[in-house]
Amino acid sequence: MLFLVISVITISIIGTLAHFLYDLTNHNKFIGIFAAVNESTWEHIKIALTPTLLWGLIDGFIYGENPNYFFAKTLSLITIIILMPLLFYGHKLVARKDYFVFDIISFYIVIIASQAVFYWLLQLNSMGFIVHYLSCVGLFVVFGGYMVLTLLPLKNFMFKDPLTNKYGYRAHSEKYSIVKKKK
């Protein structure tokens, strides 16, 4: 249980920093692969995926021998990918408008849920070879998709920045940047 709390706190801190890192690094394109480059739903999913993937270096060292490790890690990442837009668009549907505070709370709810899924699945009996194999493939698909969709965002509502109505790096708005370029 202590490791669950530590993972949630660490992932939350890194994810929060990842929201601002692109600006803080003066719009470094490499950093933009891992940090939010605009305010789209995808970029908010990404700032939860990045620290969860990084945390995998630590939890893999500790739990990597668990027969359900890859299954648990893959489903924890899928939890982020599914739950973030459900909470974001669900609250907008119910409230009929966007509440910034709920967006922030949603981010932390997603992190808690993702890590709870991870630790719960580790406790189950071994899922068997096929599930382990498919989980490894799934982990690579999630990671590969994460990289591709960051560099080549789809032209749909999840990837569209609501502030600029653009996609990917081009959607970044200097107007809302925390670091202003010198003229």
What tokens were used for 2?
């202590």
pLDDT of residue 79: 97
pLDDT of residue 175: 56
Contact status, residue 181 vs residue 174, Cβ threshold 8 Å:
yes
CA distances from 58 to 61, 64, 80, 86 (A): 5, 9, 19, 28
Q: What is the value of pTM for the model shown?
A: 0.88
pLDDT of residue 162: 87
Contact status, residue 143 vs residue 53, Cβ threshold 8 Å:
yes
- The residue type found at 31 is I
pLDDT of residue 183: 46
In the chain (183 residues long), the average pLDDT of successive 10-residue segments reads 92 94 90 90 93 94 93 96 94 81 92 97 92 92 88 91 86 62 50
